[in-house]
Structure 1
């Protein structure tokens, strides 16, 4: 599989709304032995990032964006059914994401791969207040809180949440991981707002969650504001 041309071809198919040809294209890749997990991380994820970037800068129409996100979601749903599932549980995760269709699609790609890797994922989506998130942390007791495919406008609230969790001190072993979305566009932002780790792809997120826990507390810093302005 030539990755760059594969990404480009699928992008044009989903953006044109040609769902039948997009399904046929993906089925052909699977028939040639490409694993669905690799398709999700190495093809679907880059297509998702292209869509978000181009739509953000008004370089594709709303119709093309809608076509693409909905077709890509269907392809992701179908592919996830064939993922190889881990036999052992790997931990519990609470995952939140940005507010748009594209950002939710990016989060779904991550959630599906996390679940295949053995993680129990509570996928909260967008628009949830910090107080609700803190309440859900107390209820579900996850080992990690993941803020994934977030918008630039979400970052101040995420920093506020991290500060609030540190002040409360009720989750000393909770790992906070940020990635995708604005965190991919503003290098270093995740660490500057106080996250323990960052990841740029769904597969990297799985690896970060499976890595040994870093006991170093997250510490926010002032340059985060500048990073946000650069990414907006």
Structure 2
């Protein structure tokens, strides 16, 4: 069955360009009012959305996890609702996509893909009309920090954090209850159409700058003789989360070698040979980044001189799909920085 899933996903990937165009043509033919409602610009956005649908569907099929695609379509539904766009268009899109898949895939592959699409349509029906999720509660400091950022007051936000550290608040607590909590809230505010992409980027850049102001304390811990190499999957530009986790390891006495975002596999292998770490941490932000993580792990495990390195993964897809970390060949998975530290100790002992 795993091999059949991978073959179905590979076929979807190969056919994706033409399936996207077929789906777009079909959904517009079935819903002629969309042309007038959205115009040419809207049609191009619809084409982009169809590519996104396929990207998430392909990885969901390949991993055998309906949860990945279900979570994505619920997210897409909320994005439409908060922008006052009809959710029925998403249903129409997925229905047209299913029809197109029916016409282009062999029956055994179609059954696999259709199961994921049927599951997604079912959760959309279940979720429709339910009250919105409860607003997360931030600490007073985190709320002040967020308010400063949303008002463009970066310096005041950073000063707030530095004052908290001077009062004796542990830096790890600042990372978890302020930086991490606020970043999650910023992503949610964008999803709810309450802030723009520009604001989201400003807030993220400001938090990166705030973290850098704490580095004299972060990098001042006594060394424990262990080393970590960390990076995002190739193609993934969302580096803040894995950077926070790396800093936690640094504060715990590890020597960390952080590679940043979008590192090619050959560069990763070179860094591992140079640094000889005890642990490699790989992060994936989006579901369609998972294949890059899997490819990196496969390359590391094939290298005879890198066999002793333990590999841990993290990020949204692995938090969403139970057991996905095992499917990509990792030695472990953590949901946050503190959990990563605890798991690392267990892995290194083995």
TM-score tier, shorter chain, comes to: 0.7 to 0.9
1:66 and 2:201 equivalent? yes
Point out the structure with the larger helix share: 2
8 Å CA contact retained: 1:106, 1:149: no
Distance 1:149 1:156, change over 3 A: closer
| 1:95-134 alpha-carbon deviations (Å, 9 max, x no partner) | 112533xx22222222222222222222112222222222
8 Å CA contact retained: 1:114, 1:121: yes
1:86 and 2:229 equivalent? no
Aligned equivalent of 1:140, options 245, 257, 275: 275
TM-score (ref. length: structure 2): 0.53
Distance 1:74 1:188, change over 3 A: same
Aligned equivalent of 1:13, options 136, 144, 148: 148
Point out the structure with the larger strand share: 1
Q: CA deviation at 1:196?
A: 0.8
Return the structure number with greater relative CO, CA threshold 8 A, min gap 6: 1
- Name the CA distance, whole Å, in 1 between partners of 2:338 and 2:209: 20
Aligned residues: 212
TM-score (ref. length: structure 1): 0.77
Distance 1:190 1:51, change over 3 A: farther
Q: Pick the structure with greater CA Rg.
A: 2
User: Which runs of no fewer than 5 residues in structure 2 stay unpaired?
Assistant: 1-136
Aligned equivalent of 1:163, options 290, 298, 309: 298
Which residue is 2:260 aligned to?
125
- Name the CA distance, whole Å, in 1 between partners of 2:325 and 2:150: 30
**C-alpha root-mean-square deviation of aligned residues, in Å?**
2.7
Aligned equivalent of 1:42, options 164, 177, 180: 177
